[in-house]
Amino acid sequence: MGINTAPEIPADFPGKVIPAGNGANVVITSLDQIINWGRSNSLWSLYFGTSCCAIEMMQTGAARHDYSRFGFEVARPSPRQADLIIIAGTIVNKMAPVLRRLYDQMAEPKYVIAMGACAISGGPFYYNTYSVVKGADHVIPVDVYVPGCPPRPEALLEGMLMLQAKIRTESMKNKVFPIDGFDEGL
Amino acid sequence: MTNEALQNLISTWISDPETNGLEFTEEKSQFLNITVQPEHLHQLMTQLKNNSETSFDYLFCLSGVDWGKELGVVYHLESTVHRHIIVVKVKTEDRENPTFDSVYDIWATAEFHEREVFDFFGIKFKNHPNLKRLFLTEDWDGFPLRKDYVDEINMVIK
């Protein structure tokens, strides 16, 4: 979303033009705050549990830890309705294209949490395996990494709150899409 | 039936067990282990299933193994009547074209187990109805659970 900061003023323009610096920025940053407040407090995650981390993720959603307190609310079975994908488990070579397709099907803005050792680096399957992807960030861009094997629900909650904090720093003026240039390794 | 009784019974089935390559061990195992030559496998398995004293009607595990030198298959059998368990092993040193008889006609569950073993170890099963890749893609090259499998792109060796 580009903002023209130096509009052309016709020479015979009778009035006074206030440059779209301060005034416009006030509007934009206030809008940013409202939008970020909305986005960060209603992150709906996609069901994506490929192994044991999914059990901890379910526990994080269940009554004791209850991530809907922080606006994570419900998990969605469709990527079209999801803002967030929590990669909870091992990604194997056969699953990688599926993960990428799910990510591509999600609507912007979209966020990714890599939960647990497998999603971060392949974890216990890093060495001597023919089938495991060594980190989900080989497939899609990741915003927050939550270490652990598996991480406790508190750790996942911490990661989710960090993602919220990250979203609150966004501005539509210099918003970049993490997938841009990802495949080229930029 | 105890392991010892099983061993005594099965030795009577085959004349001269030692020259016919039948080996019994119990070392480091709670079950009786029998190693059998590939050519006697199907006959022994049929007998283990059909004999009313053994009546091993449940094949609860069928695994492929690469011992480094030999390739083989390990069958875990249980009897739901007598509640005893036995382990049957079969090996071959032929790594180019390892072939055993299918036990699919004795225990139908072996159909998928044998496909899995074929998929990962390249062990072929004679008379199997549908021997093709199960988990890996059709165009996969090689058999990844063999000890000598090499994949320089995906594997980090330690």
Model pLDDT for residues B10-26, shown as the tens digit of each residue: 888 877 766 677 888 87
Closest C-alpha among B103, B3, B102 to residue B49: B103
State the average pLDDT over residues B140-146: 91
User: Per the omega criterion (within 30 degrees of 0), is the bond before A150 cis?
Assistant: yes
* pLDDT score recorded for residue A2: 56
Q: Does residue A172 have a pLDDT over 90?
A: no
**Residue among A94, A127, A134 whose CB faces B158 most closely:** A127
Q: Which of A153-157, A169-173, B79-83, B138-142 has the lowest mean pLDDT?
A: A169-173
What residue of A is the nearest CA neighbor of B153? A130
Contact indicator for A5, A19 with CB cutoff of 8 Å: yes
**Residue among A128, A131, A134 whose CB faces B157 most closely:** A128
* pLDDT score recorded for residue A164: 94
* pLDDT score recorded for residue A9: 76
Closest C-alpha among B35, B27, B31 to residue B6: B31
Amino acid found at B144: P
Residue A128, helix vs strand vs coil: coil
pTM: 0.80
* pLDDT score recorded for residue A154: 94
The pair of structure tokens assigned to B148 is 């000598």
**pLDDT above 90 coverage of chain A, percent:** 66
End-to-end CA distance of chain B: 45
Model pLDDT for residues B93-109, shown as the tens digit of each residue: 999 999 999 999 999 99
Q: Does residue B81 have a pLDDT over 90?
A: yes
Instruction: Tell me which of B138, B155, B157, B158 to substitute to probe the interface with A (most A C-beta atoms closer than 10 Å).
Output: B155
A128 vs chain B: nearest CA distance in angstroms? 5
Q: Does residue B45 have a pLDDT over 80?
A: yes
* pLDDT score recorded for residue A24: 59
Question: Cβ of B156 and A93 within 8 Å?
Answer: no
* pLDDT score recorded for residue B156: 86
The pair of structure tokens assigned to B3 is 């392991």
CA pair distance A173, A89, nearest whole angstrom: 35
Q: Does residue A63 have a pLDDT over 90?
A: yes
State the average pLDDT over residues B30-37: 90
State the average pLDDT over residues B127-137: 91
A contacts of B151 (beta carbons < 8 Å): 130
* pLDDT score recorded for residue A26: 65
What residue of A is the nearest CA neighbor of B149? A130
Question: Cβ of B144 and A131 within 8 Å?
Answer: yes
State the average pLDDT over residues B119-123: 94
The pair of structure tokens assigned to B58 is 């449940």
Q: Does residue A88 have a pLDDT over 60?
A: yes
Residue, of A80 and A182, whose pLDDT is higher: A80
How does residue A17 score in pLDDT terms, banded at 50, 70 and 90? Answer: low
B contacts of A131 (beta carbons < 8 Å): 144, 154
The pair of structure tokens assigned to A168 is 């609150």
Phi and psi at residue B110, to the nearest 5°: -65, -20
* pLDDT score recorded for residue A84: 94
Instruction: Tell me which of B138, B147, B154, B158 to substitute to probe the interface with A (most A C-beta atoms closer than 10 Å).
Output: B154
Helical segments of chain B, H only: 3-13, 38-50, 110-121
Contact indicator for A95, A50 with CB cutoff of 8 Å: yes
Q: Does residue A4 have a pLDDT over 70?
A: no
State the average pLDDT over residues A99-119: 93
What does pLDDT average to over chain A? 87
Instruction: Tell me which of A90, A130, A134, A139 to substitute to probe the interface with B (most B C-beta atoms closer than 10 Å).
Output: A130
Question: Cβ of A130 and B158 within 8 Å?
Answer: no
3-state secondary structure A17-33: CCCCCHHHHHHHHHHHH
Q: Does residue A75 have a pLDDT over 80?
A: yes
* pLDDT score recorded for residue B4: 84
